[in-house]
Amino acid sequence: MKHITKDLSLALAYKKWLENLNKKKLDHPEYKSSFKFYKDVVGNLLWVQKGLCAYTEMFLLDPERVSPKNWNKGRITDFDFMGHLDHYDSSLKPEKGWEWDNFFVVHSDVNVKVKGQKKVNSILKPDKAGYNPFYYLRYDFKTHNFYPNSERELSLQNKILEDINTLGLNYQPIIDYRKEYLNPIIDDVLIGQKTVQQGKDMLQKFNTAFLMSIQSLGLE
């Protein structure tokens, strides 16, 4: 779950609308996927998320599909994608349902089957200032599970574990995908068939899990 620099630099029509709405301290219109700026928000997020789920790093879309060349006057051309637009803090959805700071695009199963309306501790918010996955998390290459960094105090570890579960980092189908994808790459690094850098260069997803695996195996 890597850090995301959530730059709102493409969906400029939405940005202007949101700034005006918040300046007037108005409630946001009802959140629904048919709203005129929905695809613009999704497109800008998928660009800064590099086409990956913000939580699990599952592949959702080739980021070139939402690159700057596909935008005109702050609006994006239509596109299809896998995933859902998630409200990180679901309690903000009724009155602030279009707040940029609260949005991420995530894997649809994680959003529907795991996270839903559950409360988060906001510890693993990937765009939070100073967020560093290596500070909060560790990764077990044998089980392909994320777990709290044992160097943190116990009360923080408990909150980290809650957020790991709420955000679907260890949702079993995701674990299975990670295992199938990463094992061949890491095995090649272990036997010297590939360098660590060559392994990195191959990655299209699960970058954090790979880097933590390499670290835990003493390969870097």
170-214 pLDDT, tens digit per residue, is: 999 999 999 999 999 999 999 999 999 999 999 999 999 999 999
CB atoms within 10 A of CB 203: 15
Count of alpha carbons within 13 angstroms of residue 91, beta-carbon side: 5
pTM of the model: 0.94
| Region 12-39 average pLDDT | 94
Q: Where is pLDDT greater, at 86 or 219?
A: 86
- Burial class (CB within 10 angstroms; exposed 0-12, middle 13-18, buried 19+) of 215: middle
Q: Which residue has the tokens 């695996």?
A: 213
Digit-coded pLDDT (tens) for 78-131: 888 889 999 999 999 998 999 999 999 999 999 999 998 899 998 999 999 999
Q: pLDDT per residue over 120-169, tens digit each?
A: 998 999 999 999 999 999 999 999 999 999 999 999 999 999 999 999 99
Q: What is the DSSP string of the chain?
A: ---------S-HHHHHHHHHHHHTTPPPPPP-TTSTTHHHHHHHHHHHTTTB-TTT--B---GGGGSGGGEETTEEPP---SSEEEESSGGGHHHHTT-GGGEEEE-HHIIIIIITT----STT-TTSTT--HHHHEEEETTTTEEEE-TTS-HHHHHHHHHHHHHTTTT-HHHHHHHHHHHHHHHHHHHTTSS-HHHHHHH-SS-HHHHHHHHHHTT--
Closest CA to 208 of 168, 178, 188: 178
pLDDT at 218: 84
b/e per residue, 86-100, with b = 16+ CB within 10 A? bbbeeebbeebbbbb
What does the pLDDT read at residue 219? 82
Model pLDDT, residue 220: 72
Taking alpha carbons only, the member of 175, 160, 159 closest to residue 107 is 175
Which pLDDT does position 33 carry in this prediction? 92
Phi-psi region of 51 (alpha: psi -120 to 50; beta: other; left: phi over 0): left
Q: In angstroms, rounded to a whole number, what is the distance separating the alpha carbons of residues 111 and 85?
A: 9
Confidence of residue 61 (pLDDT cuts 50, 70, 90): very high
